[in-house]
């Protein structure tokens, strides 16, 4: 693959020289990846990149629409950008843009609208605006897009861990979710493009990669077959890469073959995020999820059979339309049975245009809040129980930063199971793999360790 593939149009070379540009990413890791890719396009075009809160000539906000709160935050950041510099070009990109559509046309704070699958054209779009000062609307019908938008990055904002986007779009149409309408149908990045980028990042010193996508488990299905497992096996052979993590997985991908094969690769971290959303079968059916709790639990048991003490994390929505107290209690009981190492708890957020928005028996906000608090408390207990296992055991940390705790310096990192740990030292150990012995004590949500020589 040509590393300069995104920048080969010489007519745009240095067309943004002398311009100050600021970027802001809202929402998921996929958005963060795309924002980094757009920023690199600007850098190649000669722009100077500054912090978002600084005065810039161009502001690019990569928006999110997963909840109503995300919509509101997206609008706020667009307006803040124009407030920072009323003469600046404000470009609204991403999922909120795609979902809001016509609503943004009347927003005086926005000069450019850049939909999903149009982000690789951002330099051309800005260049055209600079030439004629006319409002630019670059929204495509995302539902008809069939080609993966081949954005790529040469570096990452995180110092030691690289997130790699390999897939876009979703075909699931869960009844609560707007994302298929904002991201379109599934589209997969070519294996060669992924391999080339990971090789380049490994050569730059990155030892850990995380594969991300909108619906990661569907990687390759738009090309006729599931290709996630073969891709992982190829990535395991790249020199320099020591750890491979997977983003959120669909429970149905957890088969005997999939798990047994991954367990045979020492670079694959025993850390799996299996999206659940509810632990009650009747709620799962209303959500249009494609599995039941028995299938989900079987997947958890399969992972525990092949991996030692794997970290199993999940997402749970409380207060889905029609959720009764009995259904909530069933969810709570299931969560305890699954014994997750960590849970992300969300209160259901109505999204116009989804099937759930039209469902009867919407749950009142105070009820959602009570149920959320109950599950957050359960999460704390289960997280503590999971972490207790590591006391006195040797672990390997990938060090990410140095912090001060109670007047002493600590190197902070994560083990293979993504448990945050710290070891007391004055050395600069950033991006090094360090062997430690886990202690009982904790500080600031970190488990303390001793260096093991």
Residue 141 confidence class, pLDDT cut points 50, 70, 90: confident
pLDDT of residue 142: 86
Task: Give 3-state DSSP helix, strand, coil % of the chain, rounded to 5.
Answer: 40, 25, 40
Domains 143-247 and 278-389 share a fold: yes
Widest Cα–Cα separation across the chain: 66
Q: Identify which of 402, 419, 412 has the alpha carbon closest to the alpha carbon of residue 434.
A: 412
- Residues of the chain with pLDDT > 90, as a percent, come to 83
CATH architecture of structural domain 143-247: 2-Layer Sandwich (3.30)
pLDDT of residue 134: 72
- Long-range contacts of range 372-379, CB-CB < 8 Å, 24 or more positions apart? 372/318, 372/319, 372/345, 372/346, 372/347, 374/332, 375/316, 375/318, 375/332, 375/335, 375/343, 375/345, 376/345, 378/332, 378/335, 378/336, 378/343, 379/340, 379/342, 379/343, 379/345
Q: List C-alpha distances in Å: 312 to 264, 272, 296, 330.
A: 18, 5, 12, 19
Candidates 3.30.365.10, 3.40.50.11540, 3.50.50.100, 3.30.750.200; correct CATH number of 278-389? Answer: 3.30.750.200
Tell me the C-alpha distance between 93 and 77, whole Å: 12
Tell me what the mean pLDDT of segment 133-146 comes to.
Answer: 80
Q: In this predicted model, what pLDDT tens digit does every residue of 198-225 receive, in sequence order?
A: 999 999 999 999 999 999 999 999 998 9
Residue 5 confidence class, pLDDT cut points 50, 70, 90: very low
Tell me what the mean pLDDT of segment 422-446 comes to.
Answer: 91
Q: For the residues of 250-319, what is the DSSP string, one character each? A: -GGG--HHHHHHHHT-TTB-SEEEB--B-S-HHHHHHHT-S--HHHHHHHHHHHHHHSSS-EEEEEEEES
Residue 249 confidence class, pLDDT cut points 50, 70, 90: very high
Tell me what the mean pLDDT of segment 300-326 comes to.
Answer: 98
Tell me what the mean pLDDT of segment 158-184 comes to.
Answer: 94
Q: Identify which of 67, 68, 136, 80 has the alpha carbon closest to the alpha carbon of residue 105.
A: 136
Tell me what the mean pLDDT of segment 173-198 comes to.
Answer: 96
Question: Buried b vs exposed e over 264-276: b needs ≥16 C-beta within 10 Å?
Answer: eeebbbbbbbbbb
Sheet hosting strand 187-188, strand order edge to edge: 187-188, 161-168, 208-213, 243-246
pLDDT of residue 12: 59
Tell me what the mean pLDDT of segment 375-390 comes to.
Answer: 96
Tell me what the mean pLDDT of segment 352-374 comes to.
Answer: 96
Tell me the C-alpha distance between 207 and 65, whole Å: 32
Tell me the C-alpha distance between 225 and 14, whole Å: 41
Topology, domain 15-140: Rossmann fold (3.40.50)
Residue 8 confidence class, pLDDT cut points 50, 70, 90: very low
Tell me what the mean pLDDT of segment 101-105 comes to.
Answer: 79
Tell me what the mean pLDDT of segment 401-416 comes to.
Answer: 93
pLDDT of residue 1: 33
- What is the end-to-end Cα distance of the chain in Å, rounded? 42
In this structure, the number of other CB atoms found within 10 A of the CB of residue 83 comes to 10
43 Cβ partners below 8 Å, 6+ apart? Answer: 49
The label of the residue with tokens 């891709």 reads 231
pLDDT of residue 100: 87
Contact 82, 88 (CB under 8 A): yes
pLDDT of 437 over the 50 cut: yes
pLDDT of residue 103: 79
pLDDT of residue 6: 43
Q: Identify which of 192, 187, 251 has the alpha carbon closest to the alpha carbon of residue 220.
A: 187
Residue 440 confidence class, pLDDT cut points 50, 70, 90: confident
Tell me what the mean pLDDT of segment 186-204 comes to.
Answer: 96
Highest mean pLDDT among 136-140, 211-215, 349-353: 211-215
- The phi and psi torsions of 149 (rounded to 5 degrees) equal -75, 110
Name the token pair of 209.
């990669």
pLDDT of 420 over the 80 cut: yes
pLDDT of 102 over the 80 cut: no
Residue 4 confidence class, pLDDT cut points 50, 70, 90: very low
Domain ranges of the chain: 15-140, 143-247, 278-389, 394-451
Tell me the C-alpha distance between 19 and 57, whole Å: 6
* Higher per-residue confidence, 158 vs 195: 195
Q: In this predicted model, what pLDDT tens digit does every residue of 259-294 receive, in sequence order?
A: 999 999 999 999 999 999 999 999 999 999 999 999
pLDDT of residue 199: 96
Tell me what the mean pLDDT of segment 65-83 comes to.
Answer: 94
pLDDT of residue 85: 97
Tell me what the mean pLDDT of segment 141-160 comes to.
Answer: 84
């Amino acid at each position: 693959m040509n590393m300069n593939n995104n920048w080969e149009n010489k007519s745009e070379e240095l067309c943004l020289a002398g311009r100050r540009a600021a970027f802001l990413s809202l929402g998921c890791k996929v958005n963060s990846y795309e924002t980094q890719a757009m920023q690199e396009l600007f850098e190649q075009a000669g722009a100077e990149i500054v912090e978002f809160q600084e005065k810039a000539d161009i502001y690019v906000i990569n928006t999110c629409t997963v909840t109503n709160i995300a919509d509101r935050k997206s609008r706020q950041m667009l307006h803040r950008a124009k407030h920072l510099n009323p003469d600046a070009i404000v470009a609204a990109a991403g999922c909120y843009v795609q979902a809001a559509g016509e609503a943004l046309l009347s927003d005086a704070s926005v000069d450019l609208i850049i939909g999903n699958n149009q982000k690789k054209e951002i330099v051309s779009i800005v260049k055209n605006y600079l030439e004629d000062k006319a409002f630019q609307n670059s929204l495509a019908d995302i539902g008809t897009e069939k080609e993966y938008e081949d954005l790529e990055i040469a570096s990452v904002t995180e110092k030691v861990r690289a997130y790699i986007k390999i897939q876009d779009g979703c075909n699931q149409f869960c009844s609560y979710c707007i994302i298929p309408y904002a991201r379109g149908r599934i589209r997969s990045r070519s294996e060669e493009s992924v391999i080339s980028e990971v090789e380049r990042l490994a050569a730059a010193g990155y030892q850990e990669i995380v594969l991300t996508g909108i619906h990661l488990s569907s990687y390759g299905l738009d090309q006729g077959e599931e290709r996630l497992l073969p891709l992982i096996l190829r990535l395991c052979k790249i020199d320099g890469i020591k750890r491979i993590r997977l983003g959120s997985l669909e429970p149905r991908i957890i088969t005997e073959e999939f798990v047994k094969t991954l367990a045979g690769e020492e670079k694959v971290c025993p850390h799996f995020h299996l999206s659940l959303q509810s632990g009650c079968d009747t709620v799962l059916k209303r959500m249009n999820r494609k599995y039941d709790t028995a299938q989900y639990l079987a997947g958890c048991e399969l992972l525990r059979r092949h991996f030692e003490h794997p970290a199993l994390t999940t997402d749970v929505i409380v207060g889905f339309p029609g959720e009764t107290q009995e259904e909530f209690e069933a969810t709570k009981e299931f969560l305890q049975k699954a014994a997750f190492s960590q849970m992300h708890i969300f209160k259901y957020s109505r999204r116009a245009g989804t099937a759930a928005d039209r469902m009867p028996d919407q749950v009142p906000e105070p009820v959602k809040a009570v149920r959320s608090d109950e599950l957050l408390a359960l999460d704390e207990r289960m997280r503590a129980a999971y972490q207790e296992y590591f006391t006195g055991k040797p672990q390997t940390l990938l060090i990410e930063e140095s912090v001060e705790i109670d007047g002493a310096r600590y190197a902070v990192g994560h083990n293979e199971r993504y448990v945050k740990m710290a070891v007391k030292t004055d050395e600069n150990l950033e991006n090094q793999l360090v062997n430690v012995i886990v202690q009982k004590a904790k500080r600031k949500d970190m488990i303390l360790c001793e260096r093991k020589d």
